[in-house]
Structure 1
């Protein structure tokens, strides 16, 4: 193995593979990873037009014990797609391989190497790269990101997860405390024991104790404790820092110049939107905040909500990679929970066309929504098969008004707020019919 990564980091993941898992569990359940749901990748990375056939190639860079790899491989089992799982830890790869064996997956190639060596491994370029929880453990994260881009197709996309600064305030105070406590202690088991002892005795005023409900790794065994509170190389990012690094900096120059689409697990981009963070009792200034540039809104919302412990996002060449709202050729469909058009229509018609407070149980979001004049009728016609054009044609066929039925532009405008809210929660996505057509025999 090359030595272009930090020896302590490699040693940690050989001794304590992460995330901790028992391969036998794969006989009973499939672990789902938020960024790797194919309908999400299609919506945010390929303008809704990706069939995931025709030699689709995915790389899981720093795949650890295999959650993202196994989920992708299961979804792509019946296609000719190929997944490459790369990791520097032999112990982690061994666990991931056993999970694949138990599931009978044969569409995975295993590479034991450093992410930083990707440009020199002779791998064919990839359509999609997952890199979750990896770059923030490198001495030079930008060197790692450049290595990913070196093996990404020009039209490809990256699903990225890095730590978020605001929500991990207590974690970093705890890490600093354990460095003081452990001093020059070299025995990892002793470090873990010391951490357990302190966690059991901390006063309730401690910042980690006050935010402990945000974190779960320290409750998942030695590997989780070490990864969260004893890691030797760990940094985090604010939203603004990610825009400066991967997008454009504040002056509109620099950075990698790429497009960023944030989507937090179960909550979509709602934690990045002030009007959704402050939704149940918005202040008078809420309307003005909503008019501010996207980046500034995201930066404000991160500080308002306070509980973002990671940033999950898709990184693409430009905004055109996201499926566009307002195109009648696209098919809207509900996702991530059993939601039907009839159920959605009932919720959005609860206040007879007037703004109402939407309380979304699965995400915990409460937000005021203006359903428009026709929102419930449009929602009722969404079945995951009809295009917006077909939905609007059916709407007009059912029209009973005395005036002329609204055209497509008027219906898109009327439905826009309903769509924006459901799409911000990643409960309403878009696909283009050509993606499904490409899947036909």
Structure 2
């Protein structure tokens, strides 16, 4: 990262967080929920009685570090977590947040992820790198550095910007740089806030309803509009970045967003799309949707790290409660929601509520099959398969063996 970028995060630690709020909420999200890590990178079979080494590369004000530390503590895992960031101001906030929770299993370091090889930290079972690679002078070198820091069998959770959902942003960044790039950063913030409501009605950023982070605070405005080093990726560009580091995309999050069948109502077109390789399907879905401002993915050196439905698999909800979702599906006939402004309706079989209410984090799929009254596995899967596509597709249902 360049010196102006480091200076930015010293002046405006990102994201804006108040350690006092730790008593009221735990900020969660993807990547790096422990249930996701297990499902997408370890086939739902990791032995959590074994030690778990984590690196948060570009820890910022601590969202991923706090979430991982708290979840691993609650799970009783013997975890060793390393936080790494260039910004001392961001690190102080992260340290205060961990201290507010009484979590002590984190080592804090200032430095660049590009220098990991020289740090001698050893191999990590999991690396979180959320919102960092796209701010590096050389993202390819950054991901190569992370890949080299993995322990055998380990994996990475990343978030990078998506190009199409950020339409209109980069011309505005360039305009602000031209108008105010020689000003102190605080004065640039003031000018940007004056400019935004006066943008022409034809301005691309003004018409992009997917970008609103700048409305939350000054740190968010600086990160979005005044960043000196910022790029975005299409799916093919991300795939090239990942392959260049000797890694594979285990899964995108949420998987359903990368299924072109979600956007194609014509059966013949949907069939043609379904015949494409996985990454080509994802690229097509991104082009059709047009609103993906982020790409979240899990990466691994190996193939087939994602858990798949099997009789002995235990389904687990992420942040949902079985009775509530079963009741909602009963009333609506499926799942209704939105992906960044895109309304989504996912019809489910009429037997879905009876299956969903049996998901308790302990029953296997075969036990659920028997209790739901299905005579054999094939007849059960005919009903469960669309449930799985929908709920795993929106990242609400994973598997554990």
Report the equivalent of 1:261.
251
Aligned counterparts of 2:386 and 2:59: Cα–Cα separation in 1: 38
Residues 287/380 of structure 1: CA separation in 2 closer, same or farther (3 Å cut): farther
SS in structure 2 opposite 1:301?
helix
Q: Is the 8 A contact 1:345 1:380 kept in 2?
A: no
Tell me the CA shift for residue 366 of structure 1. 2.4
Tell me the CA shift for residue 179 of structure 1. 2.0
Any stretches of 5+ residues in structure 1 without a counterpart? 248-253, 351-357, 400-404, 433-441
1:274 to 243, 257, 260: 260
Aligned counterparts of 1:194 and 1:273: Cα–Cα separation in 2: 41
Aligned counterparts of 2:89 and 2:25: Cα–Cα separation in 1: 22
Report the equivalent of 1:382.
359
Aligned counterparts of 1:291 and 1:365: Cα–Cα separation in 2: 25
Report the equivalent of 1:285.
269
SS in structure 2 opposite 1:417?
helix
Aligned counterparts of 1:368 and 1:123: Cα–Cα separation in 2: 45
Aligned counterparts of 1:255 and 1:109: Cα–Cα separation in 2: 26
* CA RMSD after TM alignment: 2.3
Tell me the CA shift for residue 194 of structure 1. 1.7
SS in structure 1 opposite 2:316?
strand
Tell me the CA shift for residue 295 of structure 1. 1.4
- Between 1:300-309 and 1:153-162, the stretch displaced more is 300-309
Report the equivalent of 1:333.
316
Any stretches of 5+ residues in structure 2 without a counterpart? none
Q: Is the 8 A contact 2:140 2:245 kept in 1?
A: no
2:218 to 211, 219, 222: 222
SS in structure 1 opposite 2:31?
helix
| Deviation per residue, 1:233-260 (Å, 9 max, x gap) | 111100111112214xxxxxx6624233
2:369 is the counterpart of 1:392: yes
Q: Is the 8 A contact 1:132 1:162 kept in 2?
A: yes
2:159 is the counterpart of 1:181: no
What TM-score do you get using the length of structure 1 for normalisation? 0.84
Aligned counterparts of 2:353 and 2:97: Cα–Cα separation in 1: 44
Aligned counterparts of 2:136 and 2:185: Cα–Cα separation in 1: 20
Aligned counterparts of 1:65 and 1:98: Cα–Cα separation in 2: 9
SS in structure 2 opposite 1:200?
helix
Report the equivalent of 1:22.
18
Tell me the CA shift for residue 368 of structure 1. 5.2
**What pairs up with 1:58-137 in 2 under 5 angstroms?**
58-77=54-73, 78-137=76-135
Residues 335/222 of structure 1: CA separation in 2 closer, same or farther (3 Å cut): closer
Residues 19/383 of structure 1: CA separation in 2 closer, same or farther (3 Å cut): same
Aligned counterparts of 1:94 and 1:72: Cα–Cα separation in 2: 18
Q: Is the 8 A contact 2:127 2:150 kept in 1?
A: yes
Tell me the CA shift for residue 415 of structure 1. 2.6
Aligned counterparts of 2:183 and 2:250: Cα–Cα separation in 1: 40
Tell me the CA shift for residue 204 of structure 1. 2.2
Larger Rg: 1
Report the equivalent of 1:361.
337
Residues 197/313 of structure 1: CA separation in 2 closer, same or farther (3 Å cut): same
2:396 is the counterpart of 1:420: no
Aligned counterparts of 2:41 and 2:378: Cα–Cα separation in 1: 25
Aligned counterparts of 1:316 and 1:64: Cα–Cα separation in 2: 24
How many residues are matched?
396
Q: Is the 8 A contact 1:59 1:83 kept in 2?
A: yes
1:346 to 316, 330, 336: 330
Aligned counterparts of 2:176 and 2:266: Cα–Cα separation in 1: 40
Aligned counterparts of 2:16 and 2:110: Cα–Cα separation in 1: 19
Aligned counterparts of 1:51 and 1:209: Cα–Cα separation in 2: 49
Tell me the CA shift for residue 23 of structure 1. 1.5
